[in-house]
Amino acid sequence: MTQMLAARAGDITPAMRRVAEKENVTPEFVRQGVAEGTIVIPANVNHKNLDPTGFGKGLRTKVNANIGTSTSFPDIAKELEKLQVVLESGADAVMDLSTGGEIDRGRRRIIEESALPVGTVPIYQAFLENREKRGSMIAMSAEDLFEVIERHCADGVDFITVHCGITLEVLKRIKNQSRITDIVSRGGSFLTGWMLHHGKENPLYEQYDRLLEICLKYDVTLSLGDGLRPGCLADATDRAQIQELIILGELVDRARARGVQAMVEGPGHVPLDQIAANIQVQKTLCKGAPFYVLGPLVTDIAPGYDHITAAIGGAVAAAAGADFLCYVTPAEHLGLPTLEDVREGIMASRIAAHAADIVKGVPGALEWDKQMSTARKALDWDKQIALAIDPRKAAKFRQERNPEGHEACTMCGDFCAMKIVGQYLGKEPETC
């Protein structure tokens, strides 16, 4: 029985209880959200060491980190090192987007070593295997694709990105749209090439019921991918993007009818003033399904700093109702991220998520800031570092840039505003 079917039967599962404990809400609140589909708990029955996490309405905004090999860098060991950084940096989920090396072995190692929910994009492997076996990615058949999907699910993957909303009708829209960047989704481009070459409908759309059966078997959550997400500001919120979203909303209904959990992925590159509208449209068309957004990136001109452009958009998106932020690293658009890029991307997204949680009134969010303010007033550096979203970096800066035993920081030195005012007001720092 899936988490959704159990919730509808009135059962509170151990996963629901664990999510409630982590979120400081009642188990019944979680059960009701899962039953309605506004909360998902990706929890494959074969992921044995999973610490369940909830995504959706009324819960803390979550952050995903992508790792994975490429054809240029196929070393699994490097990606397992990144997984450790993901775990240490406080991400809430990890996706294996591998396209090189021993993909099956790498995925199984990641699932084995991760207590976080693990996601994948099975179509990557399906196309790559056909290139290796038959010399062409477009030689893939629907059977090939569904075999790889079931392989991922059997291994214990908790959620899968599937680009079910790209149909032949939608592709007509993009042809007439005159986009600058056309399709920037890797999975979306693979499927589009296959569909146009064969003149056939998207098998993920045409055989959607088959996909649901696989998800039911393993309790895998669908992450309905945005294959036509905008790759630049000029392409944002166009007809192709919205038509795909309409189809995804219909597919959410069909998943819920079968008891399969589903969330929906979103843009992309979006101007700041369009982000809230994008969230509202998604929430309406998809009937409150959890929204998983990449960024959104609010400008196209910042390679090397796209973790910042994404964090700006992510904060606005989450405050408007997005539930799950996919991190963007400084290396986005430039190359495969390093260990430090992964850490920086996670921290930027976590800051955005927390800023939004304050707006949403998530339990404990504002209290965290109040505790930091009290520690700052008291010049309690140990507590400030402990409360920091990235204690490692805070401790490093404090140690490297201040003399040992120096009470104030070197930014103000002897002219620490809080210390001076506290003395004149008769409020010593340690009493604040």
Binding site listing: 66, 95, 124, 163, 185-187, 226-229, 265, 269, 292, 333, 409, 412, 416
Residue whose tokens read 């088959």: 210
Helix orientation angle between 339-360 and 365-377, rounded to the nearest 10 degrees: 110
Write out the DSSP string of 385-408: HHHSSSHHHHHHHHHHHS-TT-SS
Q: Binding site for Zn(2+): what residues are annotated?
A: 269, 333
% helix / strand / coil in the chain, to the nearest 5? 55, 10, 35
* Binding-site positions for [4Fe-4S] cluster: 409, 412, 416
**Cis status, amide bond into 268, omega within 30 of 0:** yes
264 has which bridge partners?
A: 224, 291
DSSP label at residue 300? S
| Cα–Cα distance for residue pair 414/79, rounded to 1 Å | 46
Torsion 386-387-393-396 (CA) sign: negative
Tokens at 64, concatenated: 């995903």
Cα–Cα distances (Å) from 344 to 63, 88, 94, 314, in that order, read 13, 12, 15, 15
C-beta atoms surrounding 211 within 10 Å: 25
Joined tokens for residue 222: 């669908």
Grouping H, G, I as helix, E, B as strand and the rest as coil, residue 339 is: helix
Sequence ranges of the binding site for substrate: 66, 95, 124, 163, 185-187, 226-229, 265, 292
CB 150 within 8 A of CB 160: no
Cα–Cα distance measured from residue 124 to residue 108, given in angstroms and rounded to the nearest whole number: 16
